[in-house]
């Protein structure tokens, strides 16, 4: 009887070992499967993340493009409006740019002149130099008389004035004389601005003209579209 029990116990132990081995095998296979599924999920997640990143970058790019377009439209509209107002004002004013140059001569040597829209109103501004100092002379565009003169002491205005003065120091004729020549060859146009500069060491002047809504930069003798001084 005891021998039978021993044999039964041995069988039971063998069966238990077999079951345990099966469980271990299943566990190993399950773990491998879980690992594989996890790796697949990670790869899919990465691909999905890459796709999302690409989509985000594309959307960001489009947003930037649309933003720049809107900014250009927003910035361009006021400039176009101001340009139209300037053309209208210059066409209707009683005082010419040449007269503004002559009127400011009492303050110093005119080194540039321009019509501009300042705070929504037409203004005739002339830069003048005298004794190494510079001033902005505002000429009344209705009467042709100087309404005020303010010293130029800093900023871009001073930088521009110094450059213009240097160009005029090398010029052989005045801005008024150069402007008169340009106007004679451009009948119907009115001068908006005359700005001197040095080009390749030679004094020249940019002369901007307008007639109605037609704008042009005049040329005479000088290189390109600039007037020799």
Question: For 111-167, how does the pLDDT look when each residue is reduced to its tens digit (9 = 90+)?
Answer: 999 999 999 999 999 999 999 999 999 999 999 999 999 999 999 999 999 999 999
d(C-alpha 182, C-alpha 174), whole Å: 13
Per-residue model confidence (pLDDT) at position 59: 46
Task: Give per-residue burial for 185-194: e unless 16+ CB within 10 Å, then b.
Answer: ebeebbbbbb
Per DSSP, the three-state class of 191 is strand
Report phi then psi at 201, rounded to 5: 85, 0
pLDDT tens by residue, 30-42: 554 445 455 655 5
Phi, psi of 102 (to 5 degrees): -65, -40
Q: Place 229 in a pLDDT band, splitting at 50, 70 and 90.
A: low
User: What pLDDT, on a 0 to 100 scale, did the predictor assign at position 17?
Assistant: 67
pLDDT digits (tens, 9 = 90+) for 171-208: 999 999 999 999 999 999 999 999 999 988 899 999 99
Based on C-alpha coordinates, what's the Rg of the chain? 42
Tell me what percent of the residues of the chain surpass a pLDDT of 90.
Answer: 55
Note whether 129 and 157 are within 8 A (CB).
Answer: no
**What are the sequence ranges of the domains in the chain?**
93-228
Q: Which of 39-43, 66-70, 91-95, 154-158 has the lowest mean pLDDT?
A: 66-70
3-state DSSP assignment of residue 96? coil
Q: pLDDT-based confidence at 218, cuts 50/70/90?
A: confident
List of residues 6+ apart from 220 with CB closer than 8 A? 178, 181, 182, 185, 227, 228
């Amino acid at each position: 009887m005891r021998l039978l029990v021993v044999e039964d116990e041995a069988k039971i132990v063998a069966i238990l070992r077999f079951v345990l081995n099966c469980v271990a095998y299943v566990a190993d296979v399950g773990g491998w499967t879980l690992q594989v599924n996890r790796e697949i999920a990670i790869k899919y997640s990465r691909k999905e993340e890459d796709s999302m990143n690409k989509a985000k970058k594309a959307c960001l790019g489009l947003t930037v493009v649309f933003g720049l377009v809107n900014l250009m439209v927003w910035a361009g509209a006021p400039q176009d409006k101001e340009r139209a107002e300037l053309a209208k004002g210059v066409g209707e004013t009683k005082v010419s740019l040449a007269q503004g140059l002559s009127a400011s001569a009492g303050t110093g040597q005119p080194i540039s002149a321009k019509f501009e829209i300042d705070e929504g109103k037409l203004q005739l501004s002339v830069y003048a130099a005298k004794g190494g100092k510079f001033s902005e002379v505002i000429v009344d565009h209705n009467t042709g008389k100087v309404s005020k003169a303010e010293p130029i002491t800093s900023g871009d205005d001073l930088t521009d004035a110094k450059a213009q003065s240097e160009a005029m120091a090398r010029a052989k004729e005045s801005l008024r004389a150069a402007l008169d020549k340009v106007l004679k060859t451009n009948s119907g146009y009115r001068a908006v601005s005359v700005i001197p500069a040095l080009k390749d060491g030679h004094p020249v002047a940019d002369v901007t003209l307008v007639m109605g809504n037609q704008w042009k930069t005049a040329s005479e003798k000088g290189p390109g579209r600039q007037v020799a001084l």
